[in-house]
């Protein structure tokens, strides 16, 4: 349902609070998210250090943020599916598998970005 409230500082603040609640829930209930945060804490500064120029730094660090965002979306899909139907259903399983596949593809993207950039540095 579309919002009829005018947008302003109060609504922006509410959106910030809801986003922080989502991050807290992800941290509290999702072990995969915590692991990916730990990896990002290590890799993010390395990406800033290894990157030569703004584009490389953005590629090395930005791909990490995409994994975290996809993990949150995957967890949201899983929560909704589990709430909707506690017993196994083929479509429910497919939705959960597709969410997991999205996270996997973004992890491959991290490996590709890091591999190509670091390989280029090693050969120059």
Q: Which residues are catalytic?
A: 71
Q: What share of the chain is helix, strand, coil (3-state, %, to 5)?
A: 85, 0, 15
Buried b (16+ CB within 10 A) or exposed e, 69-104: ebbbebbebbeebeeeeeeeeeebeebbeebbebbe
Distance CA 110, CA 90 (A): 30
Nearest 5 degrees, angle CA 61-CA 99-CA 109?
Answer: 30
């Amino acid at each position: 349902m579309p919002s009829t409230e005018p947008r302003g500082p109060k609504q922006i603040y509410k959106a910030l609070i809801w986003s922080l609640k989502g991050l807290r829930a992800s941290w509290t209930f999702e072990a995969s998210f915590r692991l990916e945060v730990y990896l990002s804490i290590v890799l993010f500064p390395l990406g800033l250090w290894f990157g030569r120029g703004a584009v490389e730094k953005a590629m090395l660090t930005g791909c990490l943020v995409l994994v975290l965002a996809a993990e949150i979306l995957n967890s949201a899909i899983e929560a909704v599916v589990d709430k909707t139907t506690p017993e196994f259903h083929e479509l429910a399983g497919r939705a959960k598998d597709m969410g997991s596949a999205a996270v996997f593809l973004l992890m491959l993207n991290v490996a590709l970005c890091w591999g190509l950039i670091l390989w280029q540095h090693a050969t120059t």
